[in-house]
Amino acid sequence: MAITVNIPTILRPLTDNQRRVELSGATVQDIIENLEQQHTGIKEKLLADGQVHQFINIYVNDDDIRFSDGLATAVKEGDSVTILPSVAGG
Amino acid sequence: MLIITPRLIEVMIAQARKEHPYETCGIIAGVEGSNKPKRLIPMQNVAQSRTFFQFDSKQQLQVWREMTARGEEPIVIYHSHTDSAAYPSREDVLYASEPQAHYLIISTTNTHSDSVRSFRIVNGTVTEERIKQVAEQEAALTMRLEMV
């Protein structure tokens, strides 16, 4: 069941400073919902209007979900999901 | 205050000049909690723009993983302004997501030629800080003295 979610520094205050959280789910969307169940407030940091924020990168293993199926990207036991705020500016 | 070696500053300025008129970007990693920038990693600006920069997402994942494996964190996050002063723009503040990092900006305009300034950006608040350039051994000493 376990999928490891790597939490970026800026969101660790919402996960009791845990760097990694183990969750279950079949898609990235499930993972975010389950993360929200355990750590209220994290979902709104990741999504806006049901889409991933433009400057949040979410990866399943080595792949940015933008280039696969977005929130519908499938995950399975043993996968790792990494959340990283994109480093960007003007 | 950011304590950094003159060599690292030189390398960032050289990269910014080379990529002008596009914005350059990168990080300097260091041991987590050390506040000492050590390992400079130039990043690819996927925006290829004169007014915007964004790290390549694949490269960012790889670099961030490598830092985690080495017990490092981004101590400095740098980029250039090719047509404005070395001061954080609205977007710089909006997307700043490493509260422990020193946000360093290099201006490559003629009027601000090669000026380098450093800021903390935490919860939307910008605070400029002093940059102290010290050679390697001297830097280690200063750090020790500050800890006393």
Residues of A with CB under 8 A from a CB of B: 8-10, 55, 57, 59, 62, 64, 66, 82, 84-90
If pLDDT is split at 50, 70 and 90, which confidence band does B112 have?
confident
Strand bridging mode B125-129 / B131-133: unpaired
Q: For the domain with range A3-85, which CATH number is right: 3.10.20.30, 3.40.50.2300, 3.50.50.60, 3.20.20.140?
A: 3.10.20.30
Query: Is pLDDT at B143 greater than 90 in this prediction?
Result: no
What does the pLDDT look like over A47-78, one tens digit per residue?
Answer: 999 999 999 999 999 999 999 999 999 999 99
A59 interaction partners in chain B (CB closer than 8 Å)? 57, 61
Q: What's the whole-model pTM score?
A: 0.91
What pLDDT shows up at residue B148? 58
When CB atoms are compared, the residue of B61, B64, B95 closest to A88 is B95
**Which site among B64, B66, B76 would you substitute to test the A interface, given the most A Cβ atoms closer than 10 Å to its Cβ?**
B64
- Mean pLDDT of the region B88-106: 96
d(CA A50, CA B66): 31
Given an 8 Å threshold on Cβ–Cβ distance, is B54 in contact with A86? Answer: yes
- Mean pLDDT of the region B70-74: 97
Query: Is pLDDT at B146 greater than 80 in this prediction?
Result: no
Strand bridging mode B2-4 / B131-133: parallel
- Mean pLDDT of the region B23-31: 98
The CA-atom distances, in angstroms, between A77 and each of A2, A64, A70 are: 5, 18, 19
Query: Is pLDDT at B142 greater than 90 in this prediction?
Result: no
d(CA B25, CA B48): 11
What pLDDT shows up at residue B138? 63
Q: What is the average pLDDT value for chain B, to the nearest integer?
A: 93
What does the pLDDT look like over A13-25, one tens digit per residue?
Answer: 999 999 999 999 9
What is the least distance, in Å, from the CA of A57 to any CA of chain B? 7
What pLDDT shows up at residue B14? 96
Dihedral sign for Cα atoms in the order B112, B133, B72, A7: negative
Query: Is pLDDT at B139 greater than 90 in this prediction?
Result: no
- Mean pLDDT of the region B105-117: 88
Q: In the structure encoding, which two tokens stand for residue B10, read together?
A: 């030189």
Count of CB atoms situated within 10 Å of the CB of B116: 20
Indicate the domain borders of chain A. Answer: 3-85
What does the pLDDT look like over A75-90, one tens digit per residue?
Answer: 999 999 999 999 999 9
